[in-house]
Structure 1
Amino acid sequence: MRCHIFTRDDWGKTLDVQETECGSPEEALQLGSAGVANQPTEVWCGPRRLGRFEPERSHGRPLPRLHALLTLAERRLHEREQHISKQETLINRLKREGRDLALALCVLDTLIETQKTHLHERDLIVAEVAKRFG
Structure 2
Amino acid sequence: MKRAMRCLIFAINDWGSTLDAEAIDCISAEEALQLGSAAVEDDPVEVWCGSRRLARFEPDRRVRPFPRLRERLIKVERRIREGEQHIAQQERVIAELKRGERDLAIAFAVLDTVIETQKAHLQARDLLLAELARRSA
Settle same-fold status: TM greater than 0.5. Answer: yes
Aligned to 1:102: 105
Deviations 1:28-76 (A, max 9, x none): 9xxx8xxx996425477x654354355697x996111111100000000
Aligned to 2:53: 49
Larger radius of gyration: 1
Gapped regions of structure 1 (runs ≥ 5): 1-5, 23-27
Q: Aligned letter for 2:44?
A: P
User: Which secondary structure state, in structure 1, belongs to the residue aligned with residue 102 of structure 2?
Assistant: coil
1:79 to 82, 96, 103: 82
TM-score, scaled to structure 2 = 0.62
1:40 to 24, 36, 44: 44
Aligned partners of 1:100, 1:129: CA distance in 2, in Å? 45
User: Which secondary structure state, in structure 1, belongs to the residue aligned with residue 81 of structure 2?
Assistant: helix
Question: How many aligned positions are there?
Answer: 115
Aligned partners of 1:94, 1:43: CA distance in 2, in Å? 39
The answer to whether the 8 Å contact 1:7/1:39 transfers is no
Q: 1:88 and 2:78 equivalent?
A: no
Could you say if the C-alpha distance between residues 14 and 65 of structure 1 is closer, same or farther in structure 2, counting changes exceeding 3 Å? farther
Could you say if the C-alpha distance between residues 96 and 75 of structure 1 is closer, same or farther in structure 2, counting changes exceeding 3 Å? same
Aligned partners of 2:106, 2:98: CA distance in 1, in Å? 12
Q: Decide which moves more: 72-81 or 61-70.
A: 61-70
Q: 1:115 and 2:102 equivalent?
A: no
The answer to whether the 8 Å contact 2:80/2:121 transfers is yes
> Percent same amino acid among aligned pairs?
50
Q: Aligned letter for 1:93?
A: E
The answer to whether the 8 Å contact 2:69/2:132 transfers is yes
Could you say if the C-alpha distance between residues 83 and 41 of structure 1 is closer, same or farther in structure 2, counting changes exceeding 3 Å? closer
Aligned partners of 1:9, 1:118: CA distance in 2, in Å? 13
Aligned to 2:3: none
Could you say if the C-alpha distance between residues 73 and 39 of structure 1 is closer, same or farther in structure 2, counting changes exceeding 3 Å? closer
